[in-house]
Amino acid sequence: MLQSSFCHLDGVGGASEQRLWDAGVFSWADALQAETLPMRSPSPVALKALLDESARRLAERDAAWFGSRLPANQQWRLLPEFMDSVACVDIETTGLSWPQAHITTIALYDGHAVKTYVHGDNLEAFADDIRQYDLLVTFNGKCFDVPFIERSFGISLQCGHIDLRYVFKALGISGGLKQVERKLGIDRGDLAGVDGYLAVLLWKHYRRTRDPQALETLLAYNVEDVLNLLPMAIWAYNEHLVSTPFATIGQLPKHAGINNPFVASRKILYAVTGCM
Q: Does any domain span residue 147?
A: yes
User: Is residue 117 located within the same domain as residue 50?
Assistant: no
User: Is residue 36 located within the same domain as residue 162?
Assistant: no
User: Is residue 104 located within the same domain as residue 164?
Assistant: yes
Number of folded domains in the chain?
Answer: 2
What's the chain's length in residues?
Answer: 276
Confidence at residue 195, expressed as pLDDT on a 0 to 100 scale: 75
Q: What percent of the chain has pLDDT over 90?
A: 80
User: Is residue 49 located within the same domain as residue 108?
Assistant: no
User: Is residue 138 located within the same domain as residue 245?
Assistant: yes
Dist CA 113 CA 109 (whole Å) = 6
Q: Does any domain span residue 74?
A: no
User: Is residue 234 located within the same domain as residue 268?
Assistant: yes
User: Is residue 7 located within the same domain as residue 136?
Assistant: no
User: Is residue 28 located within the same domain as residue 86?
Assistant: no
User: Is residue 216 located within the same domain as residue 84?
Assistant: yes
Q: Does any domain span residue 125?
A: yes
Dist CA 161 CA 146 (whole Å) = 10
- Which residues, listed in sequence order, are joined to residue 91 by a DSSP beta bridge? 106
User: Is residue 108 located within the same domain as residue 6?
Assistant: no
pLDDT per position as a tens digit, 193-250: 777 788 999 999 999 999 999 999 999 999 999 999 999 999 999 999 999 999 988 8
Dist CA 12 CA 25 (whole Å) = 14
Q: For the chain, what is the total number of helices (H) and then of strands (E)?
A: 13, 5
268 CB burial (10 A radius; 0-12, 13-18, 19+): buried
Q: Does any domain span residue 206?
A: yes
Average pLDDT over every residue of 26-33: 94
Cis peptide before 99 (omega within 30 of 0): yes
Dist CA 235 CA 240 (whole Å) = 9
pLDDT per position as a tens digit, 50-75: 999 999 999 999 999 999 999 999 99
Domain with 162 in it: what CATH number? 3.30.420.10
Confidence at residue 276, expressed as pLDDT on a 0 to 100 scale: 53
Q: What phi and psi, each to the nearest 5 degrees, are found at residue 109? A: -130, 125
155 CB burial (10 A radius; 0-12, 13-18, 19+): middle
Q: Does any domain span residue 138?
A: yes
**What's the angle, vertex CA 181, arms to CA 199 and CA 88, rounded to 5?**
65
Confidence at residue 51, expressed as pLDDT on a 0 to 100 scale: 95
Classified as helix, coil or strand, 93 is strand
Q: Does any domain span residue 211?
A: yes
User: Is residue 121 located within the same domain as residue 250?
Assistant: yes
Q: Given a cut of 90, is residue 24 above it in pLDDT?
A: yes
Q: Does any domain span residue 153?
A: yes
Q: Does any domain span residue 159?
A: yes
Confidence at residue 275, expressed as pLDDT on a 0 to 100 scale: 63
User: Is residue 121 located within the same domain as residue 217?
Assistant: yes
User: How far, rounded to the nearest angstrom, does the alpha carbon of residue 225 sit from its chain's CA centroid?
Assistant: 11
Q: Which domain holds residue 147?
A: 80-273
pLDDT per position as a tens digit, 136-175: 999 999 999 999 999 999 999 999 999 999 999 999 999 9
88 CB burial (10 A radius; 0-12, 13-18, 19+): buried
Dist CA 1 CA 246 (whole Å) = 8
Domain with 31 in it: what CATH number? 1.10.150
- More confident call, 133 vs 269: 133
Confidence at residue 42, expressed as pLDDT on a 0 to 100 scale: 84
Compute the mean pLDDT over every residue in the chain, rounded to the nearest whole number. Answer: 93
Q: Given a cut of 80, is residue 189 above it in pLDDT?
A: no
- More confident call, 98 vs 242: 242
